[in-house]
Structure 1
Amino acid sequence: MPGTTEYPVQLIQPDGARVHHPEYQALVADIGPGELRRLYEDLVVTRRIDTEAVALARQGQLGLWAPCQGQEAAQVGSAHALHPDDYVFGSYRESAVAYCRGVPPSAMTRMWRGVSHGIGDPAAANMANPAIVVGAQALHATGYAYAAHLDGAEIATVTYFGDGATSQGDIAEALTFAASWSAPVVFFCQNNHWAISEPVQLQSATPIAQRAIGYGIPAIQVDGNDVLAVLAVTRQAVARARGGGGPSFIEAITYRMGPHTTADDPTRYRAAAETEEWARRDPILRMRRLLDREGLLDAETRRRVEERADEVAHRMRTETLTMADPEPPELFEHVYATPHRGLDEQRRDYLAYLADDPAGPLATVAPTPREEGVRS
């Protein structure tokens, strides 16, 4: 990855035909029939998760959801390139990455339902909770990667963000620090062509990957709707990071088929013809055509994959709808790693405030032993 390619790397054409590209084919030479079916299954299941979450949001069961329809190959392909001990810092759209990292789908909806601050224990899947502040996760990833390097850990840290985030100063600062420190971090930009309602051409007069070159970071463009090509280039970047080669930048050219979030209406700023054009490059359809060409997708396999997708979505919906509302004191949990007197005082004052209301939720809540210690 010495510089940036003149065109996006591609290994599967939209019609499912393989592309002859020896350098990158070698990086996925171990991906046989079983692995291809597994990639296809993860693409289908993650789209089903996304569809179900959008429905839950439309039905008022989630406050918001950031769809990833159309971007599944960029997320699934890159996630499959990671090692279990690698660490991920995502934005609010990486539901497919989370699924591939082992995060239960119902954990992904907890934050959007308002019953949790995040998606669970980051250590369980080596994936940080979603970053709502646009671009901030790139700085978090760079700091984590550098600290891990100082500790002698031979891991890669990957941060995901969209094309719109590259206009944020946090991304520029992260690239500066990563290049200066030779931090083992992979910057993964999903260029889905739209930063909410503004096209990518308005933000960047040159390919986004070229920006990384200016910082001295090797960069590459990849067809983000080609799961095999994404897997190949991400493996290359991860190997570079784990081997002490420093940071890399991947720009995955893809497309956001749905709204920015369920609070958005893309028909107000986007032409239907553009969406229809990208629908013909759909990542799942492309993978299905490849499997059909190679005789790997019989009726039984397709049925099994669809049943798996429905099962995961059903469980996610059931578990989401039965989530218990958190108790108010939980607002103060998991804020600091060690006890903090100021936070204890705030918690005590808040409990006292709620207890003053005879009909309030905590009128009968007794102070915890830790609170008694603060009082004394």
Structure 2
Amino acid sequence: MDPSNDPTPPTSPLTTSPPMVQLLSPSGERVTDPRHAFDGDRAEIEALYRDLVMTRRVDTEAYALQRHGELGLWPPALGQEAAQVGSARALRPHDFAFPTYRDHGVAWCRGVDPTHLLGIFRGSHLGGWDPAEHGIALPNIIIGAQTLHATGYAMGLALEGLVGTGDAERDSAVIAYFGDGATSQGDVSEALDWAAVHQSPVVFFCENNQYAISVPVDSQTRVPIVQRADGFGLPGVRVDGNDVLACLAVTRQALQRARDGEGPTLIEAVTYRMGAHTTSDDPGRYRDASEVEGWKAKDPLERVRLLLVAEGTSEEFFAELDADAEALGVRLRAACQQITEPDLAELFDHVFVESTVENQQQKAEHVAWQAAFEEVAS
């Protein structure tokens, strides 16, 4: 790989940057790698590009809705689309994904209606989709906890005999998404250890976007995150997280390894959060504009567009895609404004499987308070 295409920031003088898989350069040129290959045709690349564009439209539309007061919060995924789309498209229908609160592209690729994401950040519901139907859990807010959930689920697959049978219609795998900041949480270390010890069919996919809110990754770890794998006894792969082809190829191989009963893999996808951590964050307080501009030159969408243009994709394809993205934006705006406000009394119905006396008393007190408040307001 041409070192000039390496998206990794300089490492500490005490560390050596491990090799990184890249199959598509920032200038849109195909790159070969002896370990991994993308063998799809132009139609598959066009489909991936569509996912990238639509994911970005969901993200930018939701950001605008938050700024207009329609959402309480939004965590932008701008710049991380390739890591999410590439890895998610490596999943089979019977695999299962455990996402973070920023993995809008993963939800899109698993067939989740993006209006459900809006409801979460409007504070109207907890997700609104059936995880069993889509093969993806509801977004996890507690940093790193989903890695334990994923490991437990993967252990269950093995116990149920759904791993290593050689039956492609049965053998299943799990993928757990988390950011570089989550690697500082004990949950992630515990998950890596349990998965390695039990050889669980789970892929740990770290979206290293360079910042845990405001803390840069080099303030969290002395070595590249992928090297954590060595300490737990599982293979690790570092991939250009802005390269959708490489992310797909690397994740596809790791998931198949898991389905075959060969155990877990840690993937570090080196990418960049071009926007804020959330809409309540001001990234200008902790990073320079020049740094952001440097990463914009590695935009994950632009490199695919350049490749498709060079390979002869028609202008009609891009025009139709732009129209579809615009239609999606219109639908999201309309749907957001039609989301009904929840009855807060229903919160008490989801605390326990079997309600307690104290829980019932608290609900009754809330209902009485709400009735009195509405009477005064009227």
Checking the alignment, whether the CA contact within 8 Å between 2:349 and 2:355 is kept in structure 1 is: no
TM-superposed CA distance for 1:156, in Å, is 0.7
1:21-58 deviation line (CA, Å, top 9, x unaligned): 25422xx31x1121111100110110011000111111
Report what 2:276 is aligned to.
259
Which of 302, 321, 340 is residue 354 of structure 2 equivalent to? 340
Quote the Cα distance in structure 2 between the aligned partners of 1:35 and 1:260: 31
Identity across aligned pairs (percent)?
50
| Match status 1:9 vs 2:21 | yes
User: Residue 188 of structure 1 aligns to a residue in which SS?
Assistant: strand
Q: How many residues align?
A: 353
Greater mean deviation of Cα atoms: 320-329 or 183-192: 320-329
Quote the Cα distance in structure 1 between the aligned partners of 2:281 and 2:290: 19
Checking the alignment, whether the CA contact within 8 Å between 1:76 and 1:97 is kept in structure 2 is: yes
Q: Which blocks of at least 5 consecutive residues in structure 1 are unaligned?
A: 364-376
Report what 2:6 is aligned to.
none
Report what 1:289 is aligned to.
306
Checking the alignment, whether the CA contact within 8 Å between 2:242 and 2:271 is kept in structure 1 is: yes
User: Residue 36 of structure 2 aligns to a residue in which SS?
Assistant: helix
Which of 193, 202, 208 is residue 185 of structure 1 equivalent to? 202
TM-superposed CA distance for 1:327, in Å, is 1.8
AA at the equivalent of 2:291: E
Quote the Cα distance in structure 2 between the aligned partners of 1:361 and 1:123: 39
Quote the Cα distance in structure 2 between the aligned partners of 1:358 and 1:40: 51
In 2 relative to 1, CA 158–335 (structure 1 residues): closer, same or farther, beyond 3 Å? Answer: farther
User: Residue 24 of structure 1 aligns to a residue in which SS?
Assistant: coil
Quote the Cα distance in structure 2 between the aligned partners of 1:225 and 1:333: 43
In 2 relative to 1, CA 358–214 (structure 1 residues): closer, same or farther, beyond 3 Å? Answer: closer
Quote the Cα distance in structure 1 between the aligned partners of 2:78 and 2:290: 17
AA at the equivalent of 1:48: R
User: Residue 221 of structure 1 aligns to a residue in which SS?
Assistant: strand
TM-superposed CA distance for 1:362, in Å, is 11
Q: Which blocks of at least 5 consecutive residues in structure 2 are unaligned?
A: 1-15, 163-170
| Match status 1:315 vs 2:331 | yes
Which of 316, 327, 345 is residue 329 of structure 1 equivalent to? 345
Quote the Cα distance in structure 1 between the aligned partners of 2:371 and 2:226: 59
User: Residue 244 of structure 1 aligns to a residue in which SS?
Assistant: coil
TM-superposed CA distance for 1:20, in Å, is 2.0
| Match status 1:146 vs 2:155 | yes
Report what 2:364 is aligned to.
351
1:167-207 deviation line (CA, Å, top 9, x unaligned): 11110111111111111110000011111111111111111
Quote the Cα distance in structure 1 between the aligned partners of 2:370 and 2:223: 59
Greater mean deviation of Cα atoms: 139-148 or 323-332: 323-332
Quote the Cα distance in structure 2 between the aligned partners of 1:356 and 1:330: 14
| Match status 1:50 vs 2:62 | no
AA at the equivalent of 2:322: E
AA at the equivalent of 2:244: V
1:130-186 deviation line (CA, Å, top 9, x unaligned): 111111110111011101210112211101000011011110111111111111110
Report what 1:210 is aligned to.
227
TM-superposed CA distance for 1:120, in Å, is 2.7
Which of 92, 101, 120 is residue 110 of structure 2 equivalent to? 101
Report what 2:236 is aligned to.
219
